[in-house]
Structure 1
């Protein structure tokens, strides 16, 4: 779980385009949903 958050931060930091922002947003959303079911 912590690794997933770190990966999301890394992806956000290394991407400077709209696709990166979208991927980060989707990844963060999936993590939030995952937390709801843990």
Structure 2
């Protein structure tokens, strides 16, 4: 996703599919991406 989607964001909601372990395992990647884009 581009930087524009994060512009002005104070927080984000990160979700995963309980049926797909990999989606849970990559949560931290999405968190790090968010923090990188908003800082």
More helix by share: 1
Under a length normalisation based on structure 1, what TM-score does the superposition of the two structures give? 0.46
Q: Tell which structure's C-alpha radius of gyration is larger.
A: 2
Under a length normalisation based on structure 2, what TM-score does the superposition of the two structures give? 0.46
